């Protein structure tokens, strides 16, 4: 009889232990779940962008025209303000960035005056140029070192002749050529970047007047540009 009682007590104790454990498992945990990890967005140069720039340009070539008394005469070199806007697209794969950019610039870098003999006749130095270029670079996170080159066009001077019979003659024509350069760009934010860039531009110009007739002469209008700019990249 005593043995039966001990067995019943042991069974009741085991049942109570199992029931208590099951109820404890159903209670909410006092520990918070592990926080979910959210990675910070990685900076990328990929995307369309627009921007503006300003800087200084200087004429490195010599504009010439034909004088019947003195032959071909060279005019002086000038320089001045350059400023405008640009737009383009970059694509980044790994450390490398490929892109294309076009820009249009006001440029007071030409010599639109003329020389007749030993006399120089100053002219307006206002002009413009634009480029359509490829860009290739290497990115170090937010810093981009790049080279650029392509087609250039514009009218920055070198097309004026002075003739004692006809006076000033201005050939308002857009000339084509090429450009080459490079620079550094840095991503200030995920959407805004700042750059410093240098370009060498070579445009072909032709045509002068002297003695009442036009003399066609191919000339290289060459100038350098150093400019700083800001770009806004669309997500």
Per-residue pLDDT of the chain (235 residues; tens, 9 = 90+): 555 555 545 555 555 555 555 554 455 556 566 655 555 558 999 999 999 999 999 877 655 555 555 555 555 556 789 999 999 999 999 999 999 999 999 998 865 544 444 455 555 557 899 999 999 999 999 999 999 999 999 887 655 555 555 555 555 567 889 999 999 999 999 999 999 999 999 887 655 555 555 555 555 678 899 999 999 999 8
Distance CA(38)–CA(41), nearest Å, equals: 9
Instruction: Please give the domain boundaries of the chain with CATH numbers for all domains.
Output: 47-233 (2.40.160.20)
The C-alpha angle 104, 106, 107, rounded to 5 degrees, equals 120
pTM (two decimals): 0.70
């Amino acid at each position: 009889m005593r043995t039966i009682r001990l067995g019943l007590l042991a069974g009741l104790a085991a049942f109570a232990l199992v029931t208590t454990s099951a109820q404890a498992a159903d209670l909410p945990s006092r520990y918070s779940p592990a926080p979910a990890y959210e990675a910070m967005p990685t900076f990328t140069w990929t995307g369309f962008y627009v921007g503006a720039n300003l800087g200084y340009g200087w004429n490195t070539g010599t504009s010439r025209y034909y004088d019947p008394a003195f032959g071909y005469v060279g005019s002086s070199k000038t320089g001045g303000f350059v400023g405008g806007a640009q737009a383009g697209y970059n694509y980044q794969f790994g450390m490398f960035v490929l892109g294309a950019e076009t820009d249009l610039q006001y440029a007071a870098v030409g010599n639109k005056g003329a020389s007749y003999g030993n006399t120089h006749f100053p002219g307006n130095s206002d002009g413009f140029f634009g480029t359509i270029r490829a860009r290739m670079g290497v990115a170090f996170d937010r810093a981009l070192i790049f080279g650029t080159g392509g087609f250039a066009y514009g009218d920055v001077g070198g097309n004026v002749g002075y003739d004692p019979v006809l006076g000033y003659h201005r050939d308002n024509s857009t000339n084509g050529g090429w450009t080459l350069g490079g620079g550094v760009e840095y991503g200030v934010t995920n959407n805004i970047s700042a750059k410093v860039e240098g370009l060498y531009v070579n445009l072909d110009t032709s045509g002068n007047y002297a003695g009442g007739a036009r003399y066609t002469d191919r000339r290289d209008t060459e100038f350098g540009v150093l400019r700083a700019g800001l770009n806004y990249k669309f997500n």
